Amino acid sequence: MKILVPVKRVVDAALRPIVSQGALSTSGLKFSSNPFDEIALEEALTLQRTLGGPAKAEVHCISLGPDACTDVLRNCLARGAQHATHVKVPEGNTLEPLAVAKILHGFVKDRGFDLVLLGKQAIDDDAACTGPMLAGLLQWPQATAASRVQWSPETSRLSITSETDSGEQTVSAPLPLVVTADLRLNKPKYVGLAKLMKVKRVPIEKVDPETTMSQRLEQVSVGEPPAKKPVTMVSSVDELVSKIRDLV
């Protein structure tokens, strides 16, 4: 089995974005892997172990963006991925979900992957479109927002559970398949410095995008969310009723 895990480079989730002059300023901020994609990679590695290791299942990570994406890919290699590919996108170019899906579509078809595991969304745009768009382009079945993934060796199918407003929903599908990961799927393991140093010289494949990257969406402005209004605590129902009357 060949498993592809796309990983996006984003501003670290622990940092607060800085808005300056109607745009998001990333100068001096730390970047890391999209947390949803880290969860997808952890699940791919778990599935690899279930199937019998790298000889039975190969995990390949890919990242689209500037040269700094190699840091994200080395982190993936340190976690246990066998291969990493960097699709070079000039600094400052913003890829829309459809462009990302088109690039991934070509890569998947050329390399013969059986399963694509990726985060259900990226924390920078929260679009949650890339996985479904990729499945549509590939004409593959898809299972989104997975909170549990199980492999059945008897049927060679994946069972995917997702949390919905009405409870849990479980679907079963054969390969090839696109699966997007939710936060509840797993907790990625910590990567130590020794593992990062070990993969420091591991070669990362670099390729150019094989599709146009023209933007169809224009970002008009970025602003801080409105400040929360102060909360007034009341000690009794009578006091609450009195304050409501004053407002009316």
pLDDT single digits (tens) 121-153: 999 888 999 999 999 999 999 999 999 999 999
Q: What are the b/e assignments for 148-167, b being 16+ CB within 10 Å?
A: bbebeeeeebbbbbbeeeee
Those residues whose C-beta lies under 8 Å from the C-beta of residue 195, and which sit 6 or more positions away, are: 78, 79
Rounded to two decimals, the pTM is: 0.85
Decide if pLDDT at 221 tops 90: no
Decide if pLDDT at 16 tops 80: no
Q: What's the CATH number of domain 2-215, 3.40.30.10, 3.40.50.300, 3.40.50.720, 3.40.50.620?
A: 3.40.50.620
Decide if pLDDT at 7 tops 70: yes
- How does DSSP classify residue 208? -
- How does DSSP classify residue 184? G
CA neighbor of 9 nearest in space, from 72, 57, 62: 72
Domain locations along the chain: 2-215
| C-beta separation of 79 from 198 below 8 A | no
What does the mean pLDDT of the chain come to?
91
Taking residues 186-190, report their average pLDDT.
93
| C-beta separation of 162 from 144 below 8 A | yes
Decide if pLDDT at 93 tops 80: no
Report the alpha-carbon distance of residue 155 to residue 144 in Å, rounded.
21
Is residue 30 very low, low, confident or very high in pLDDT (cuts 50, 70, 90)? confident
Decide if pLDDT at 178 tops 90: yes
Taking residues 52-75, report their average pLDDT.
95
Is residue 180 very low, low, confident or very high in pLDDT (cuts 50, 70, 90)? very high
pLDDT value at position 220? 78
Decide if pLDDT at 196 tops 80: yes
Taking residues 66-85, report their average pLDDT.
95
pLDDT value at position 21? 66
Taking residues 27-46, report their average pLDDT.
92
> Alpha-carbon torsion 26, 30, 31, 33, what sign?
negative
6-20, 43-57, 231-245: least confident range: 6-20
pLDDT value at position 150? 96
pLDDT value at position 119? 96
